[in-house]
Copies of this chain bind each other. A is one copy, B any other.
Amino acid sequence: MLAFEVAEYKERIRKVKESMSEKGIDVLLITDPANMNYLTGYDGWSFYVHQMLILMMDAEEPIWVGRGQDGNGAKMTTWLKDENIMSYTDDYIQSLTKHPMEFVAGIVKEKGKGNQVIGVEMEAYYFTAKCFERLQASLPNATLKDATLLINWVRVIKSEQEIAYIRKATRIVEKAMQVAVDSLGSGIRECDVAANIFHAQISGTEEYGGDYCSIIPLIPSGERTRSAHLSWDTDRRYEKGDQVNLELAACYKRYHSPLARTAIVGKPADRLIAISETVIEGIGNALAAVKPGLICEEVEEVWRKTIAKSGFIKDSRIGYSMGLNYPPDWGEHTASFRPGDKTVLKPNMTFHMIPGIWMDDIGFEVSQTFRVTGNGCEIFSDFPRKLFVKD
């Protein structure tokens, strides 16, 4: 059931330990579910309770720590020896008197690491302020050190197998986007289009199915397109003139391929056509510029210079590194295409470039997922890059 050869997981651990060593970290406590999966294969919707990997410099395998009823899941989905699956009893769950981090600290101390330098992911979604407080209190002789993104940076360059999964996800997202465009129309319920998209994302292709995505389909319509991150309205039907933003992805073995397009039900206004042409020219130029050795902010600069003449303004980043992930985000929180980001592009980095513009009256977005190659980039999907008009 493992998505990768054990050797690949071990190579990842080697790289992570290299980074730990550079940073003077003896023990790494890993909360980010994507990072847990990256090193062990662990896969379950259990991140809503506290869980963790303990990676000690001098141990070959990490230790998985989680809730009792998820221990079997860890045994089934990881390559770890059973002795490295340690689960806590259910009275730790949402308790006012006990905290799972006390259980984690107990293991750290038992392993003789209670006085060492311990890395924690201070900014990982599920590493709450309380987690840190309980670890501090339970490990008074340890030095806790911020190790946010340590593993995420190792994840930035993908293996051939990881790229293969993103390509498989791409085949699914193309189907889902086509279903979305085909389903749209005046008088159609927004929820029915959303339902069709979900169906396509999960039923996948004839050869393989899809996983759940880390973000739901974001398909706002009408005035709701003026904001990012809104979605369908459960009670509304599309009306003539509605613009619909379609920001979707598909996922395979937890690897994502996002894809965004914009559609209009009815005739597009001149202003929408103008924005769409600007954005499509901008993304085209930015993608054409991508090559190893360039730095991230230079990619953004190509975009910014292209759209400057149009008068439209985009004040947010136009893309980010992505791949393996769990809700609530498919982004990796590492490299971004924005001013100030000095990350050097290297082969097999994978990005979602999404230069959406949202004005107060109108918005337009288009995106492509790609990998950096030896001399440029491979754009995963050739789904038409245009404004979709459903008249």
List residues of A whose CB falls within 8 A of some B CB. Answer: 1, 43-48, 67-73, 76-77, 89-91, 93-94, 120, 122-133, 146, 148, 189-192, 194-196, 198-204, 208-212, 215-216, 218, 223-224, 226-235, 252-253, 315-317, 327-329, 331, 333, 336, 338, 340, 358, 360
Contacts and interface: CB of A to CB of B under 8 A. Distances in A.
> What are the 9 closest A-B residue pairs judged by CB atoms, nearest first?
A191-B209, A73-B227, A129-B132, A90-B316, A195-B203, A72-B227, A195-B202, A198-B198, A48-B329
Contact of A315 (B76, B90, B198): B90
Most chain B C-beta atoms within 10 Å of own C-beta, residue among A195, A218, A232, A317: A195
Nearest to A124: B128
A202 B148 CA distance: 36
* Tally of this chain's copies: 2
Contact of A132 (B77, B132, B204, B252): B132
Contacts of A315: 68, 89-90
A192 B203 contact: yes
Nearest to A235: B208
Contact of A194 (B122, B202, B232): B202
Contact of A234 (B224, B232, B252): B252
A338 B317 CA distance: 47
Contacts of A126: 125, 328
Given A94-B336, A202-B194, A70 B130 contact: no
Given A44-B229, A48-B328, A358-B72, A234 B216 contact: no
Contacts of A331: 48, 94
Contact of A209 (B194, B204, B215, B360): B194
Contact of A76 (B69, B190, B198, B224): B224
Nearest to A209: B191
A16 to B, nearest CB: 20
B216 A189 contact: no
A338 B228 CA distance: 41
8 contacts: A46-B228, A73-B229, A94-B331, A122-B129, A190-B209, A192-B203, A195-B202, A198-B202
A116 to B, nearest CB: 19
Nearest to A205: B191
A68 B234 CA distance: 25
Given A128-B125, A209-B190, A204 B234 contact: yes
A209 B189 contact: yes
A352 B195 CA distance: 25
B45 A218 contact: yes
A331 B48 CA distance: 10
A209 to B, nearest CB: 2
Given A73-B230, A204-B191, A216 B45 contact: yes
Nearest to A200: B195
Most chain B C-beta atoms within 10 Å of own C-beta, residue among A200, A209, A252: A209
A215 B326 CA distance: 12
A49 B324 CA distance: 18
A316 B209 contact: no
B227 A316 contact: no
A76 B233 CA distance: 12
Most chain B C-beta atoms within 10 Å of own C-beta, residue among A128, A210, A316: A128
A69 to B, nearest CB: 4
A309 B367 CA distance: 60
B127 A229 contact: no
A220 B129 CA distance: 32
Given A120-B129, A328-B328, 9 more contacts: A48-B329, A69-B358, A72-B226, A122-B133, A130-B146, A192-B209, A194-B202, A209-B234, A234-B253
